[in-house]
Structure 1
Amino acid sequence: MMKKLVLLVVILLCIFTATTVMTYPRVGQWLFETVASLESSIYGLSTQQQDVGDVSMSYYRGGKQGAPVIVMIHGYTSDRTVWARFAKYFTDDYDVIIPDLAGHGETPYDPSLSYTQQAQAERIAALLDRLGIEKVHLIGNSMGGYISAYFAIAYPERTLSAAMVDPAGVISPTPSEMDKLLAKGENAFEISSFEDFKNFYPMTMAQPPFLPKIVLDAKAEEYMQRRERYARIGNDIHTEPRLTDRLHKLQAPSLLIWGDQDRLIDVSAVAVWTREVPAMKVEVMKGYGHMPMVEAPAESASIYREFLGEL
């Protein structure tokens, strides 16, 4: 199936570039979007739009209508596409929803809006209201993990379970590589050049899936174009108090997954989460970094399915 997909994309790319004048990064972006669209459709996910009050939210939805709902939440500067290969393991038995958070992916950015964890959690609640969904399982990565825990604490009556994958929200006892850079006044997320992105991308994953250079350069270009946007969103994120003092209020069944090679948020943060939520189930994945659901979708999905099966 994947060979056929690649062949189809190559044919489409040849046709497209033969009839369209495009810059080099734009070709890479078109290629990424085309593959992501084809791949998500193969997995039974379709892109939909929903007004949630202050923004029109783009999201994937697929799976079994009427089944328990899983909401998958991406991290800071990411988007819904990072969950597709993980999500395919759940569409036979669950109704899967994967939003682009406000200011990310295809959901618009408006500088007049708030991008705190509270604001993003409220938008997810509004999305569920519009879709007529009362209760959900949540799983989020990085900032999305923070939002999953935040939602579970703020909306306990709507939370069936909360899973956090290398989540933000607490201070790790051992500073990560990212923490050390921030202490020197350097933010790896603030991309001003292709060289900046070249240094940043390996920090996000220990075993990233293959992407052609043309796609990586397109992603670098996107980060550069959105630099001010991401800086504003990042500032809003950091105005929110850390979760540490509220974690004990997390009462829903919970799962913590962490890649032991995470360079953005050190794995030592696991001790903080488990101290505050002793009943939390924990899985540390050896050899993986900050995004194990991308690096090892089958293995991480197996961990999550086992957790859901025990509820």
Structure 2
Amino acid sequence: MTQPGSNFSRFVRNLCLVTACCFTGMAVAQSTKPNTEKINLQNYLVQERNEAGLKARTIQVGEISWAYNEGGSRQKPTILLIHGLAGNRDNWNRVAHFLTPYYHVIIPDLPNNGETRTPENFDASVPNVTESLRRFVEAIDVEDKLNVAGHSLGGSIATVYASQYPFDTQSLFLLNSAGIYTQAKTRYSKDPVTLKQLIVSKPGDLEQVMHRVMQNPPSLPNAVKSAQENYLITQAAKNGKLIDQLVALNRIYTPESFARLTRTVEAPTLILWGKQDKIINVEVANELKSLLKRAEAPVILNNVGHMPILEAEQEVAAYYLPFLAKTQKMKNPLADKLIPLN
């Protein structure tokens, strides 16, 4: 897929509809609250990154100023970790802790998220974000044999990436991945307007939202949680407008578009889902598996909701690391016709 057709292009813009990704991202930019609160949150994130073996970096690529975390040796295979809607790079820190000893890990803030800066009129559609992500990985020279992982909306971006750049995608890991599924039955997928219930707009909302997107939310220091909530309140209007746009798009597209895209992916794929996901119900994991050429049986984690990367990071890594080790030995089927595609 080099130039998506109009129907495909419109479809992928809609992939984020069923994401309802974590509105609990711990971003720190542009906070209007007291400096001490912002400093507390920054210090917490720096400590968390250090424990995961990650360092914060920035790079200008065209019109985008990318902020990203990097860890592990560049002599090792590279993993690109993609966060979801309204999340940010630090959502992956807990998982990255288990990956950086063995792999080179890159975790960017996607455009219009976290500390990545874009022009005011930036096109935030999935095709354009995916293309921009490709320019980013080329700029830091990690595009070859890239292992791509995405959570929620990040899963749909990862799927588009694997479809568009099949020769360079070594493996694909999809966690509670967004898509347009025939088996989707949550209220958020049936009526996307209800996604607004996941917007943190006033004090006290964060606690409620965390329990909707997670079965067992991780504990956070009160100062960090307060700073996190105050930042998200400042972003409420922006997130509300985004959901309005997504709701309008949802009236047009169907699961068939999603199926056509997914069937083009050649990379070996691991699917993981939280059984108690209230945002994208677990039944769609098998539907997703049926669409992918080289997907393993989905891993279903009990007592986990929509955010396994925060709720069950050790289990996520325990399944991902053996999959990675196995797939590093595989040849790309497009380059070696002796390897079956199914």
**Would the TM-score normalized by the shorter structure come out above 0.5?**
yes
- Does structure 1 residue 304 correspond to structure 2 residue 332? no
Is 1:173 equivalent to 2:183 in the alignment? yes
> What do residues 242-272 of structure 1 show as CA deviations (whole Å, max 9, x unaligned)?
5233111011111110001111111121132
1:37 — aligned with what? 46
2:284 matched to which residue of 1?
269
Aligned to 1:254: 269
CA offset digits 1:282-307 (Å, max 9, x no partner): 10111101111211111110100111
1:58 CA drift (Å): 0.2
Contact 1:114–1:236 at 8 Å: present in 2 too?
no
Q: Secondary structure at the match of 1:140?
A: strand
Change (3 A) 1:172 1:206: farther
Between the two structures, name the one with larger relative contact order (CA 8 Å, sep ≥ 6): 2
Q: Percent identity?
A: 26
More displaced, 48-57 or 108-117? 108-117
2:301 is the counterpart of 1:292: no
- Following superposition, the deviation at residue 52 of structure 1 comes to 2.0
1:243 aligns with 2:251: no
* Structure 2 Cα separation of the partners of residues 24 and 231 of structure 1: 21
**C-alpha displacement of 1:180:** 5.5
Q: Distance in 2 between matches of 1:235 and 1:124?
A: 25
Matches within 5 A, 1:1-311: 27-135=36-144, 136-171=146-181, 173-179=183-189, 182=192, 187-234=196-243, 239=249, 243-277=258-292, 279-281=294-296, 282-311=298-327
Runs of at least 5 residues in structure 1 that lack an aligned partner in the other structure: 1-21
CA distance in 2, matches of 1:229, 1:158: 35
Conserved in 1, the CA contact under 8 Å of 2:155 and 2:176? Answer: yes
TM-score when normalising by structure 1: 0.85
Write the letter of the residue equivalent to 2:151.
N
Shift of 1:32: 2.5
**Alpha-carbon contact 1:25-1:217 (below 8 Å) kept:** no
Say whether the 8 Å CA contact 1:62–1:97 is kept in structure 2. Answer: yes
CA contact (8 A) 2:196 2:243 kept: no
- In structure 2, how many angstroms separate the alpha carbons of the residues matched to 1:111 and 1:169? 27
Q: Distance in 1 between matches of 2:290 and 2:77?
A: 30
Alignment TM-score, normalising by the size of structure 2: 0.78
Inter-CA distance 196–44: structure 2 relative to 1 (3 Å threshold) = closer
- Select between 30-39 and 133-142 the one with higher mean Cα deviation: 30-39
The structural deviation recorded for 1:108 is 2.1
Q: Secondary structure at the match of 2:314?
A: helix
Which amino acid in the other structure matches residue 176 of structure 2? Answer: D
| 8 Å Cα contact 2:109/2:116 also seen in 1 | yes
The answer to whether the 8 Å contact 1:70/1:138 transfers is yes
8 Å CA contact 1:181, 1:188 repeated in 2: no
Distance (Å, rounded) in 1 between the aligned partners of 2:216 and 2:40: 22
Measured in 1, the distance between the counterparts of 2:265 and 2:32 equals 48
| Cα shift at 1:71 | 0.3
> Contact 1:85 / 1:294 at 8 angstroms: preserved in 2?
yes
Deviates more, 1:151-160 or 1:205-214: 205-214
Q: Distance in 2 between matches of 1:100 and 1:206?
A: 25
1:124 alignment partner AA: L
